Amino acid sequence: MSRDIVIFGRYWPSTTFSSIVQPTIYLLAFGLGIGSLVSHVNHVDYVQYVATGVVATAVLFASAFPGMFNTFVRWQFQRTYDAMLATPLDVEELITAETLWISLRAGVYGMAPLLVGIAFGLSPSWGMLLVPFIGFITGFGFASFGVVIAAVAKTIDNFNYVTSAVLTPMFLVAGTFFPISTFPPLLHLIAELNPLYHCVQLVRDAVLGPLGVADIGHLAVLLGWALLMWRLAIVLLGRRLID
């Protein structure tokens, strides 16, 4: 991870820029665009609804993409992982350090939509302080998911399938911009299986209040997802790193 921090020292301007600008664009486009048609969703002001929802999008983008691309590039192109595994480091430590670092970043970047939201009328609340932790847990799951994808991908172009077939639907069908309660039953069920949906709900309850029993369930899903993906990432990438 120390190596990542050094690398990040060189790249933080571009990484941070995209992490902040992307959710801002969603926020402006949806918040102001649709917000002019819809004023409230479930008794929540639409700008507040979107600002809290986009946190999950920001976390997803800040974790799944680095999980996929950084892993693939460092493993296949730069062969950095080969070099690192010749040291006392083992696969589990390597993958855990990489995903920890990505998810720490994702937790911080998850705050960006809230800050932008505040500028557009979201009222600050103590619950916002929980957001980096929610972002961290969610980010850990999605960073590990990215590593899993990198481990099974044959070429870097394979990521396009995942981006369009998995990640895009995931962030759209997560209650980010519109509630999933309007979906037909089957789609509703699928949305409930989406870990990102649970991130959205948890963030919304933390920021807008109140936190309830259901949030323990949301947290449990996020933790379970993170744990499952983390172990899967170690097994699958481990199989390809060690002959």
Q: Does 14 bind another protein (CB under 8 A)?
A: no
Q: Does 10 bind another protein (CB under 8 A)?
A: yes
Q: Does 186 bind another protein (CB under 8 A)?
A: no
Choices 1-9, 19-27, 102-110, 135-143 (CB under 8 A): range interacting with another protein: 1-9
Q: Does 2 bind another protein (CB under 8 A)?
A: yes
Nearer to another protein, 11 or 126 (CB): 11
- Binder among 82, 181, 212, 220 for another protein (CB under 8 A): 82
- Binder among 36, 42, 86, 160 for another protein (CB under 8 A): 86
Size, binding site for another protein by CB under 8 A:
21
Cα 204 to chain centroid, rounded: 15
Q: Does 241 bind another protein (CB under 8 A)?
A: yes
Nearer to another protein, 37 or 242 (CB): 242
Classify residue 227 by burial, with Cβ atoms within 10 Å: 0-12, 13-18, 19+: middle
Nearer to another protein, 66 or 127 (CB): 66
Least distance in angstroms from the C-beta of 46 to another protein: 42
Q: Does 92 bind another protein (CB under 8 A)?
A: no
Q: Does 80 bind another protein (CB under 8 A)?
A: yes
Nearer to another protein, 2 or 36 (CB): 2
Going by C-beta distance under 8 Å and a sequence separation of 6 or more, which residues neighbour residue 237?
71, 75, 91, 95, 147, 148, 150, 151
Contact residues for another protein, defined by CB under 8 A: 2-3, 6-7, 10-11, 78-80, 82-90, 241-243
